[in-house]
Structure 1
Amino acid sequence: MKRPIYFCKSWFRAKKRPTEVWTEEQAKSAHMDKQPYTVLVDFIERPYCFLEITEKAVGVGFFDKHLRECLTYAFQEFENGKLFLTMATHREFDGDTDKVVSGISYIFKQDGTVNMRREFFNPHRLETAMTSTDVSMNYAVMPEFGEYDDFVRVER
């Protein structure tokens, strides 16, 4: 089943809402002209996630029930039309507030190296580690307009 999608210029993180809701035609024009645009999945006001599409990258932000961006994926183009998930960030919040208490980022390299960086904010503490993993699921292709299902998956 295909999920409903909507388009806008961008997602305003601080106000938790889209800027300039766009028609499909406006978004398609931006896509064809390799200009940035944003895809909202499921709903306009309370999306499941959003995708920021640019000429050479795709960013995906997944929301929790308070519309806080708890998980972010960053895909970068490494060769014409081919993307690689270079970073995943998971954030934890203080109760129902928007205050981030900790976050962990995984920086992936195509050779399987993973740099992990966990940051705590109060009191401030930083932990780093390095490991390796199978990164075969980190590859994707630049989406055709309207075809975003591959990016809407939390499990990679």
Structure 2
Amino acid sequence: MSKKVTDIIEELVSPILEELQLELVDVEYVKEGKDWFVRVYIDSSVGIDIEQCGTVSERLSEKLDDLDPIPHLYFLEVSSPGAERPLKKPKDFEKAIGKQVYIKMYEPIEGEKQFEGVLTSFVEGLVTITYLVKTRKKVITIPYEKVASARLAVTFH
């Protein structure tokens, strides 16, 4: 198969989400134990409810049955990304400005490979975070291409 399964699923689900005015957050195609899972994470500016997940699941399932891009049995799950939603695309970072984030890098910057703090800006491919070291505020700017993974971080005060 020349296209990745996640790309095919993204192509199939995008028109459904557009029609329902929902946003695609992420698509996963993973094996856990002996089972395969297709996970589609969706969201909107006002959140997601179980009925919306069910509608997307039913409509995507029909398209997957028609195209049959996956050669074995799998479980399809459609859900909200949750409070600690991943930040995958530049627009995700732009939406997260002012929020608490957790970022892991491919390689260390200033001796660290992970940072948690407030995302203060995302400009021209640079992610800027303000974080605490003990009681002192520090600011770090990370090139977007060096970010291995990022997500919103829930903090309890």
Higher fraction of strand? 1
- TM-score clears 0.5: no
State the TM-score, normalizing by the size of structure 1. 0.31
Q: Point out the structure with max Rg over C-alpha.
A: 2
Higher fraction of helix? 2
State the TM-score, normalizing by the size of structure 2. 0.31
